[in-house]
Amino acid sequence: MLGYLLFSGVTTGALYALVALGIVVVFKATAIVNFAHGELFMIGGFLAYTLHVMLGLPYVPSLALAVACTFLVGMATDRIAFRPLMKSNMVALVLATVGFSFVLKGIGRSIWGGRGDYLPFPPLVGFDPIILPGDIVIVPQQLVVLIGALAVMVVFAAFFRLTRIGRMMQATADNPKAATLVGIRTDRIYMMTFAVGGAVAAAAAALMAPLTLLYPDIGFSLFIKGFAAAVLGGLASLPGAVIGGIGVGVIEALAGGYIHTSFLDVSAFVVIMAVLVLKPTGLLGGARLRRV
C-alpha cells in the first residue's frame, strides 16, 4: 500500500507544485497573491479540451496552444486586475484578482458549463495499467503527468536563469525600484509574470485533465491546495513551491491511507500550520526582507 500511496501522492503533488509555481512567480514579482490563478488553470484545461476533444487536434499541439492562449489570458489578468490598481493598497489588488477570478469562472461556465457537470479528457496514452516494480499499478497518464511536470519545472528554471527576460523578472522581483533605475520596463515585466503564471497553470491543467476530469469549479479547489503548497514551501521560493506541492500531495495520500480518508483534505493544512509555527516563512522561505 505504501508504494501506491507514495506514487499517487507524488503525482497529485506534482500538480499542486505546478499550481504553486504560478502563484509564487507572481508573488515574487508583485508581492500579491493572484486569486485568479485557479481560474487560469480551469481556462487552460478547457481550452485544451476544446482543441483536443472538440476540434480533434492531437494532444501535444493542443497542450501547446492552450498554454499559449492562457499566456494571453494571464496578460489580461495583469491589464484588468493588476495594472489599473498598481498604486492602490494591497487589499484593493487582492480583491481585484478575486473579482477577476469570478469573471473567468463565469466565462468558463457559460462556454463549457452546459456540457455537463464534468468532462472526461482522453489521455495521451491509453488507460491500460502499467505494473511497476513492487507490483505497483499505475495508469500511463500518471507517468505523463510526472514527466510533464518535471519538464515544465526544468523549462521554468531555465527560463529564469538563462533568458534575458527571465533575469529581468528575477531582478524586478528582487527590487522593483532598482530594476526600473537600470532601465527595465517593470510594467511589462509584471505583465510577463502574470502571463508566465497563466502558461504554467495551463500546462498543469492539460497534463492533469485526463486524471482529474474537467469542470468549471475545478479552479478554486486546486488554487487552495496550490496556495497551501506555496505557503509550506515559502511564498517567495520557486524550489519551495515544488517541495511544498509534493509534500502536500504525499501527506494527503499517506494520511488518507494510514489514518482515515476523512483526514485526507485536512491533513496537509495541519502540517502546514505546524511548519509555519516553527518557520513562518516556510520550508525554503528566506528571512523576511524589508524593501527600502
Partner 1 sequence: MTATRLGFALLLGVAVSAPAIAQAPGVTKDTIKIGSFGPLTGPSYLYGKLVMNGIDVVFDEVNAAGGVHGRKLVLVREDDKCNAEGGIAAVKKLIHQEQVFLIHGGGCSNAAIAARDEVEKAKTPWVVFAAVADSVSAPVAPNIYTTALYASLESVAQLQFALDKGAKKIAIVSMRDAWGRQRYEPMVAAVKAKGITLVADEELTPDANDATPQALKLKAAGADAVLMVLYPKPAAVFLRDAWKLGYKPILVGQTAISDPAAFEEQVAVPGATVNFSTISMVKYVPDDPAVEKWRKLVEAKFPGDRLSTFNLFGVGSAKVVVEALKKAGPELTQARFLKALGELENFDAEMFGAPITCKTPDHRCNKAPAWLKKDPGGPTKVLGVTKVAM
Where does this chain bind partner 1 (CB under 8 A)?
1, 4-5, 8, 11-12, 15, 109, 113-120, 122, 127, 129, 137-139, 208, 211-213, 215, 217-218, 221-222, 253, 256-257, 260-262, 264-265
Name the residue nearer to partner 1 (CB basis): 31 or 138.
138
Residues 227 and 8: their CA atoms lie apart, in Å, by: 20
Name the residue nearer to partner 1 (CB basis): 234 or 247.
247
**Residue 196 in contact with residue 25, Cβ under 8 Å?**
yes
Name the residue nearer to partner 1 (CB basis): 169 or 246.
246
Name the residue nearer to partner 1 (CB basis): 160 or 215.
215
Q: How far is the CB of 247 from partner 1 (least distance, A)?
A: 16
Residues 89 and 158: their CA atoms lie apart, in Å, by: 33
Burial call 248-263: b when 16+ CB within 10 Å, e when fewer: bbbbbbbbbbeeeeeb
Q: How far is the CB of 170 from partner 1 (least distance, A)?
A: 32
**Residue 51 in contact with residue 65, Cβ under 8 Å?**
yes
Q: How far is the CB of 174 from partner 1 (least distance, A)?
A: 35
Name the residue nearer to partner 1 (CB basis): 128 or 288.
128
Q: How far is the CB of 9 from partner 1 (least distance, A)?
A: 8
Could you tell me which residues come within 8 angstroms of residue 262 by beta carbon, excluding any fewer than 6 positions away? none
**Residue 248 in contact with residue 256, Cβ under 8 Å?**
no
**Residue 10 in contact with residue 169, Cβ under 8 Å?**
no
Name the residue nearer to partner 1 (CB basis): 86 or 213.
213
203: phi then psi, degrees, rounded to nearest 5: -60, -45
Q: How far is the CB of 16 from partner 1 (least distance, A)?
A: 10
Q: How far is the CB of 110 from partner 1 (least distance, A)?
A: 9
Of 2, 4, 11, 3, nearest to 211 by C-alpha is 11
